[in-house]
Amino acid sequence: MTKIPYISAREAVRAVRSGDHVHLSSVASVPQILIEALAERSSELEDVHFHHFHTEGDAPYAEGGPFFDQGFFVGPNVRKNVQEGLADYIPVNLYETQSMYRTGALACDVAMVQVSEPENGMVSLGTSVDCSLAALDVARERIAVVNPNVPFALGNLVPLERFTALVQDSRPLITKEYASPSETDLQIGRICAELVPDGACLQMGIGAMPNAICAALKGHKHLGLHTEMFSDGALALIKSGVIDGENKAIDKGKVVASFLLGSQEVYSFIDHNPQVQMLDIAYTNDPRVIAQNPGMVSINSAIEIDLTGQVCADSIGTRIYSGTGGQLDFVRGAKLSRGGKAIIALASRTTKGMAKIVPTLKPGAGVVTPRADVQWVVTEFGAVNLYGKSLQERARLLAGIAHPQDREALERAAFERFGR
């Protein structure tokens, strides 16, 4: 085995050339030391493109100049720059991000990832596997930041000798504390939990509402978890034994995910834990894989939904707010699962009092889940199943779970549009 010496971050990023496309590991495990070193080279470079999932922390790669960010998801740290045209967004279902690299549809010249300390010549991608394995498959330069704070998570090990450069850093991974669920979140959580049978396999996101759903599931039994990401709410269910994976058809007894964002407790939990498999997005988000677990229940949110069932989850009108993410991957996977359910859960109104069930989406709004794919929709006022329902039926059902002060206007809009 060839021993690769550690070098400084400044030396490592000399491998980046003008015109290169650079992949970054994401979320809590962004290789900040490499980003900082690359920013120091900004006067020497031109037209360097960056690709990544949602990232946390400073993002000088999204501030224009010689760098142009083209993320697969838009987080708060790059949102303003995307909306101002200094950075950009690549619309893509997360499952397909890896195939973009592997097929050459999107160039990847340099892969910059953060990894655990080596064991027996292998390192782990820890909390952020995402599409980094695909990037390592195709990149010309493969730079690893070896960090003792990255957990040695199983399922994604990479030989240390596969990298062309190694850098050391010891800064902690970024943690995230989510707001406490509101009463609306808690009510939505209770309604969603009623749709989840014992023995189901779950997918949900992170944040106050998913945490509220997890809290409402604490009385359930033998749940599984196959998801793109999880956080502290799901961890509580795992530790209490509610999530044990006993009923899963694949990865039985194991928690499957691709990236994490939460407390240090979450990161520590996956370290050397055989119960957890952190895997390539090519596996976690493949609808054909998702569908193999019986009783698959996907729970995702939305910015707004129209009376026909079109779900906008990535933009506010023409302004990109987040991204497609894995919503449609899991909606389709859950619907293909035997006994599965796909749930879109949202508050009836925003915190500013704006309706989220609307006659039509805002002009330019992105349809993340088409109306033909939508099944269950949940607000704090109830749950409706749109599967097999006509446009007129959908409009009546959705108006019935809208905010009471919005129902009359929705019913009027439905009558004007559909005639009854």
Which residues are marked as active site?
A: 228
Taking the C-alpha atoms of residue 276 and residue 86, their distance in angstroms, rounded to an integer, is: 38
Tell me which residue of 48, 51, 56 sits closest to 100, measured CA to CA.
Answer: 51
Contacts of 372 (CB under 8 A, 6+ apart): none
Angle at CA of residue 351, ends 75 and 261, nearest 5° = 30
For 141, the enclosing helix (H) or strand (E) is strand 141-146
Residue (of 69, 400, 346, 72) closest to 205 by Cα position: 346
Element of type H or E holding 145: strand 141-146
Integer Cα distance of 158 and 401 in angstroms:
48
Q: Give the pairing of strands 88-89 and 67-71.
A: parallel
Please say whether the dihedral angle defined by the alpha carbons of residues 176, 236, 26 and 152, taken in this order, is positive or negative: positive
- Which helix (H) or strand (E) covers residue 190, if one does? helix 183-194
* AA identity, residue 277: Q
Closest C-alpha to 346, from 389, 307, 299: 299
Taking alpha carbons only, the member of 184, 229, 175, 224 closest to residue 208 is 184
User: What is the distance between the alpha carbons of residues 271 and 127, in angstroms, rounded to a whole number?
Assistant: 9
- Residues with Cβ < 8 Å from 388, sequence gap 6 or more? none
Q: How far apart are CA 336 and CA 342, in angstroms?
A: 10
Query: Which tokens is 128 given?
Result: 């952020």
Q: Which of 181, 180, 194, 207 is nearest to 297 (CA)?
A: 194
Residue 333's alpha-carbon distances to 11, 130, 237, 272, in angstroms, are 44, 18, 23, 29
- The H or E element spanning position 277 is strand 276-278
